[in-house]
Structure 1
């Protein structure tokens, strides 16, 4: 006989549908409630035929998969096979991973990237508008993503991969700018700062900046000074 412990609960079998990803139901509701679905429906390209999937039908399961810890497109099957989660959030259809991959490649070759940038910009501006903060600390830094792809370039850390640059505000966990770059790529940092200023709603301003050493250029310093900016750490 197993000795009774302090945990006073019983185990039993059930035929009810259950999910280990119940937290994703809250995220799914946020995507709709915040208006991201509406932004995607408005700005992303429509399917080429009446039987094709709309952009939201590709992106919703993809975002759920990534937010739930997935790293590869094949991880979509975990969302597709989670009947309980799909029932709770009303996710009736999940395209196969190969279908999603084909769609992503089409978007990359066509107008999809520019369309998705509009979705991101609308989301950023709504986040900043709803936020009560009036003054922000600008943060921008390149980051390294290791990759085993043959075409990946060597980074300064001695690993192959990519080196995207990201810009955000310390007070609000939203990426306001990102640019995917090769692992050996440098430069283009002024644009990262300009974008941060372009998305600021009226009545809000950037008070401080914390920047990577790559930003220590005359072009960047002159830009910050032109904004009457005096408080920055590089």
Structure 2
């Protein structure tokens, strides 16, 4: 019997994160999925729903904008499991998509980066010591092709002029963050990658997307379950590598 892999997914009580949690637990019985949620009750509710499907899922409270919350989640996982095998940095917001006009530009940028970039960096940094205890540590970042500089430079790309400066630039920064961690952790055997799930209908975009959660989760799960010979430092979708 293979050893259980411990997986933490931030922002997983709904949307893409929930889809990843559900499909990962369903497709890989050797993985224990921890749903990370800013709201403890919503995380527990999501985990209970998946437990009802016979899936190995639990939850932990983690607010990626709070160092205290991150530290508490780390301490809980360390005490209960002793290590972490996979970290999926999925928590994200898109205020200029869902709440356009609600905040002045500076405030919208600050709030977006606080979650999408600073939060992902803080969570990654905090959990590296637990990931180092894994035989095959993997980190996955949920990114987006709207953060691709090459695509944004293409005048025929309809997303190049989309009024989402906070979201798109935060994902470009997130891709750079991923490359940074892929570089500094490569010699320790880490596999660090980013994936764009596609235009999936979730709360983040007021359910305007056309793809399903299952479709959005597929490549994230592939990267989360890479073997020791898997790639690192890549940005991809289910269709393959994407341009930077």
Structure index of larger Rg: 1
Give TM-score, length-normalised by structure 2.
0.26
| Greater share of helix | 2
Give TM-score, length-normalised by structure 1.
0.27
